[in-house]
Amino acid sequence: MSRLLAAAPNTSVLNAEDAGTVMRFLTAYLAVANWRGQLTGTARMQERPIGVLVDALRQAGASISYLNHDGYPPLELAGFKAVGGTSSGPTELAVRGDISSQYISALLMVGPRLPGGLRLRLTGHIGSRPYINMTVALMQLFGANVTADGDTLLVEAGAYRPTDYTVESDWSAASYWYSLVALAPAGSEITLPGLRQQSLQGDQAIVAMMAPFGVETAFLPDGIQLKQVPAAESVAPLSFDFTDCPDLAQTVAVVAAARGIPVEMTGLESLRIKETDRIAALQTELAKFGGDLQDLGDGRFRAESSGFAVKGQSVATYHDHRMAMAFAPLALLGPLTVEEPLVVKKSYPQFWNELAKAGFTVTEAG
């Protein structure tokens, strides 16, 4: 994101590679900024839908066309001429609430730049609401006037203003350390800096999800301390809804299978259109260890295992950073190989180095 924002004024081709957030946010930003050029990505990015966002931006006045297949990158951006929103009212847009929250955040963040601002109405079921709330809170911190009326968000026209802000550490990245502690011997502990108890991030849900696996969280003045405590002799059936925190699904599924504690999982719909089909990827890779993500129908899945064992298996990552990091903690149970390990650069480029600092032996295979 940083590199492309710096390059945009002087280039007509930008490559978001495999970063979905970058693709969605830049599409809206560059459109409203009147940038002209092509926005592309990897082969997998060109299979990830963006039509809902493009349709909304076109309604607002953006000239965007598809270079290959309708509804998917790469895109050709050819300027912006507002077609709605005047001094008498904002630009009116409506999008489904069950789509990726990245589309919604992208539209909200450019709202102050639209004539008259933006009135964005979310229809139907709304998923990933914490991400929408996070976007609104940060916009307000940087000077935007955003208010909510039910499922309609009103963004007033205006300018953002600079302010001092310390970016919180990433709860999604922290989830892999929760996995490590969950699989470690009783008494194991680690301190993670920069995480807040009063967090805007939906993935803080990992605190409650990992408690039944014996991971105790203590909040410190600047971070958290995790400790493995003896789990209850019998754990009640676990059921988690990942609608607001889909990026935790792989983490929990792997730990549940490894620990032999079945977990019913719902809210996984968006996993089909991530960096890979994460449901299919989990089913394939868990099977190598004796685990399974069983489709129960009606949007319900159950992570479980029978004779789970780690004995040198090779885990495919499918160009997905979270597949690599979700399975890496299994090294506590035995040796394994993670294919294409550099996929972690998307969200946690120092992941392997951090594992080495924690005492793991990380070597390049072959």
Residue 217 lies in a domain: yes
Domain boundary among 155, 181, 208: 155
What's the confidence (pLDDT) of residue 41?
97
What's the confidence (pLDDT) of residue 99?
82
Which range of residues forms the domain containing residue 320?
Answer: 171-357
Residue 160 lies in a domain: no
Based on the fold, state whether residues 132 and 214 are members of the same structural domain: no
CATH number (domain holding residue 305): 3.65.10.10
CA dihedral 89, 97, 272, 105 (to 10 degrees): 40
Could you give the number of structural domains in the chain? 2
What's the confidence (pLDDT) of residue 300?
94
Q: What's the number of CA atoms in the CB half-sphere (13 Å) around residue 51?
A: 7
Based on the fold, state whether residues 41 and 189 are members of the same structural domain: no
Based on the fold, state whether residues 143 and 187 are members of the same structural domain: no
Read off the tokens for 28. Answer: 């809206």
Residue 7 lies in a domain: yes
Which of 247, 277, 295, 298 is catalytic? The answer is 247
Residue 162 lies in a domain: no
Nearest 5°: the CA angle 98, 17, 101 is: 15
Residue 140 lies in a domain: yes
Based on the fold, state whether residues 84 and 49 are members of the same structural domain: yes
Contacts of 95 (CB under 8 A, 6+ apart): 52, 56, 103, 104, 107, 120, 121, 122, 123
* SS3 at position 144: coil
Contact (CB, 8 A) for 304 and 228: no
Q: What's the number of CA atoms in the CB half-sphere (13 Å) around residue 271?
A: 28
What's the confidence (pLDDT) of residue 276?
85
Based on the fold, state whether residues 10 and 147 are members of the same structural domain: yes
Based on the fold, state whether residues 150 and 9 are members of the same structural domain: yes
Based on the fold, state whether residues 287 and 345 are members of the same structural domain: yes
Q: Strand 238-241 vs strand 263-266: parallel, antiparallel, or unpaired?
A: parallel
Based on the fold, state whether residues 149 and 225 are members of the same structural domain: no
What's the confidence (pLDDT) of residue 234?
63
What's the confidence (pLDDT) of residue 195?
97
Q: What pTM did the predictor assign? A: 0.81
In the chain, where does DSSP find H-type helix? 2-7, 20-32, 51-60, 101-110, 129-141, 171-183, 206-210, 249-259, 278-287, 321-327, 351-357
Contact (CB, 8 A) for 112 and 140: no
Q: Is 151 a catalytic residue?
A: no
What's the confidence (pLDDT) of residue 275?
80
What's the confidence (pLDDT) of residue 232?
67
- Tell me the pLDDT tens digit for each residue of 309-344: 999 999 999 999 999 999 999 999 999 999 999 999
Q: Strand 91-96 vs strand 118-123: parallel, antiparallel, or unpaired?
A: parallel
What's the confidence (pLDDT) of residue 123?
93
Based on the fold, state whether residues 88 and 150 are members of the same structural domain: yes
Residue 362 lies in a domain: no
Contact (CB, 8 A) for 32 and 62: yes
Based on the fold, state whether residues 145 and 250 are members of the same structural domain: no
- Tell me the pLDDT tens digit for each residue of 42-91: 998 999 999 999 999 999 999 999 999 999 999 999 999 987 656 668 99
pLDDT < 70 stretches in the chain: 84-88, 232-234, 366
Residue 56 lies in a domain: yes
What's the confidence (pLDDT) of residue 88?
65
Based on the fold, state whether residues 125 and 233 are members of the same structural domain: no
What's the confidence (pLDDT) of residue 233?
64
Nearest to 215 by CA among 173, 174, 244, 245: 174
Residue 82 lies in a domain: yes
Based on the fold, state whether residues 123 and 179 are members of the same structural domain: no
